[in-house]
Amino acid sequence: MKKPNELFLKVTVPAYSPASLLKAESVVRQFGAGASIHQIQPGEPLMENLVILREVFAQNDGFHECDYFAVLSPRFFEKVLPVGGQQVTPQRIREELCRPIQKGEQPVKKSGTFTPVEVDAMSFFGKMRDGYLHHEKMKHMMSGKAPDILFEALEACQIPRPENRAMKGKVVISNYIFARPEIWVNYVQYYLHPMIDYLMTRPKDHAVWDDAKYKRKIRDVKVPWGHVDYYTHHTFVLEMLWTVYLASNPEINFRQYAY
């Protein structure tokens, strides 16, 4: 197993405005080698999952040579709170990725003996610095239209829907995932790409285009689909897709980094 400072992390940070570019540059500086900015051009869809799709399909700039890949927000370090009194930093992320998963940490119990295993994927969830709690976001999403749209899209894309018990302890509502390149390739090819194709081609009267009534309006940019000043359901449906992927692939050694 590699040591934290030996890990090669490939991180892409989308930037869509001058202000977000400055913040993206700060994130890139903190991660150092392997980190880069994806400048979102006028008219280009403003959605992190589309940046993930682009980056994984391109597979350039050391994608296959990296240990873990992630797409992070320019506000990533603003959103995460200190854990155990310590600020979350790239070094702490490296340490968590290098810390083997122990018996009892796996969301689904395994029978027999257990040998500590390396982390394949790690997600971030918790409460954000502005006080909006992760469980409130989850409640907002799960009580709205997003779950029904998700299940409809899964069926249309012929992606098996896992049983609820398989999702126990694996609920991920986040785009901030550090995962091995081969895991990203499988996820994008068989889950994310068909789901994006389906959701983005729905007629404008479909529920996915409705106002998701999220906590705040979009002030400085317009979403590219329809030029509305509210969040549609696209982002929220896709943020739930990793839950399906992990539940359908129990061999992935997964850790949740609570923040």
Tokens 């122990």 correspond to what residue? 102
Lowest mean pLDDT across 51-55, 94-98, 128-132: 128-132
pTM given for the model? 0.86
pLDDT attached to residue 81: 61
How far is 235 from 174, CA to CA, in rounded Å? Answer: 10
Tokens (6 digits) for 126: 């918790």
Tell me the per-residue pLDDT of 188-234, one tens digit each, with 9 for 90 and over.
999 999 999 999 999 989 999 888 776 555 544 445 454 566 778 88
Q: Are 116 and 100 in contact (CB under 8 A)?
A: yes
Judge whether residue 255 has pLDDT over 60: yes
pLDDT attached to residue 131: 42
**In angstroms, what CA-CA distances link 118 with 76, 127, 192?**
24, 26, 25
pLDDT attached to residue 62: 76
Higher pLDDT pick, 83 / 29: 29
Report the percentage of the chain scoring pLDDT > 90. Answer: 40
